Amino acid sequence: MEQEPRSLQEAVLYFADPANCRKFLVARRWPDGVTCPTCGSAKVVFSEKHNRWQCGSHHVKRQFTSKTGTIFEDSPIGLDKWLIAMWLIVNCKNGVSSYEIQRALGITQKTAWFLDHRIRMALHSGTIEKLSGEVEVDESFIGGKARNMHAARRARKITGTGGKDKTIVMGMMERGGNVRTIVIDNRRKHEVQKQVREHVEAGSAIFSDELKSYEGLQADYQHAVINHAVEYVNGNVHTNNCENFWSLLKRGLHGTYVSVEPFHLFRYLDEQAYRFNNRKMNDAERFDLAVRQVVGKRLTWDQLTGKESEIPPPTIN
């Protein structure tokens, strides 16, 4: 039995065989045996010639493939390219641009961009569990750097100082655990504290900077503040873990993707949060987990480009 890939080189060779692609995906999607995505019946027959199954029950959509009901559905791109693109995205620390995917897979940049966003959608993993213990809370402004812009573009894009014309992202990180990110409309007290109460268990220790919007959390949390105008660490009080995540995120946004529209920003946050939260895994484990998350997620071109409303994910990272 051929061993599953543990490195990018092994993945390229392994997934060059369509049978290996199908076997790899089936083992993660249907570990207890293939079942019909429409009715759930296990009475299915596989046709090697047509590379698809047919359900024994009579209903619409009796025939299906391993792509049906996943982010790969209706894509003319083969699983060999899909899986290599996913390996790159989940394992490259600073991300992979659509132009790099285009060159690596021999597809158009438009196709690569669509493919990238569908993979990012799979990386979103929701949870109803709240963060607890020691939790760092911080916000960051995402947007182009004025000094890097042409004068005409700068005059059009930058109409104020500070965070004006930039997108605000709020991050919450359980020390020793995972980070969660949310795009927020503003940094006012009502919005900031609503997010904290929604995602952090009452009674937890919260560490934040001196932003006045956090004032009033003491009633429900053990709230400690670090004044960045004076110091960055005071014993156990700091937001350095959140700052580390922002550094990694912006390195990818500015260095790899260069230009990210606010409309799509939450997907890039999902991508970076996935890599960060699974940083203790090796490449093969991180890829394996991502493949297990492709089912039940669908993103069409019209949804991606805003022509059709997209059903938002139920929870955040």
Contact 180, 172 (CB under 8 A): yes
Rg (CA), the chain: 22
Structural domains in the chain, sorted by start? 8-123 (no CATH), 134-260 (3.30.420)
DSSP 3-state assignment of 121?
helix
Give the pLDDT score at 184. 94
Which has more confidence, 52 or 315?
52
Helix intervals (H) in 163-239:
189-199
What pLDDT band is residue 153 in, cutting at 50, 70 and 90?
low
Secondary structure class of 38 (helix, strand, coil): coil
Higher per-residue pLDDT: 166 or 145: 166
3-state secondary structure of 37: coil
* C-alpha–C-alpha distance, residues 299 and 122, integer Å: 10
Comparing CA positions, the residue from 52, 155, 169 lying closest to residue 44 is 52
69-106: burial string, b at 16+ Cβ within 10 Å, e else: bbbbbebebebbbbbbbbbbbbbbebbbbbebbbeebe
Closest CA to 101 of 93, 91, 111: 111
pLDDT at 316 over 60: no
State the DSSP code for 292: T
Instruction: Identify the band that residue 307 occupies on the pLDDT scale cut at 50, 70 and 90.
Output: confident
User: What one-character DSSP code corresponds to residue 255?
Assistant: I
126-136 per-residue burial string, b: 16 or more CB within 10 A, e: under 16: eeeebbeebbb
The model's pTM is 0.88
Helix ranges (H only) for 4-108 are: 8-14, 18-29, 79-91, 98-105
pLDDT value for 182: 94
CB within 8 A of 66, min separation 6: which ones? 22, 25, 26, 29, 72, 79
Mean pLDDT of 88-104: 95
Q: What's the pLDDT at 128? A: 82
- What is the pLDDT, as a whole number, of residue 126? 77
Q: Higher confidence at residue 162 or residue 218?
A: 218
**Structure-model confidence comparison of residues 66 and 159, the more confident one:** 66
**Can you tell me which residue has the tokens 């960060």?**
276
Between CA 297 and CA 210 the distance in angstroms is 39
pLDDT in tens, 205-222: 999 999 999 999 999 999
CA distance 255 to 73: 31
Question: In the predicted model, is pLDDT for residue 155 greater than 60?
Answer: no
Question: Helix (H, G, I), strand (E, B), or coil: what is residue 135?
Answer: strand
More confident residue, 303 or 163: 303
Phi then psi for residue 225, to 5 deg, are -120, 140
CB 156 within 8 A of CB 191: no
Question: Residue 311's pLDDT is what?
Answer: 57
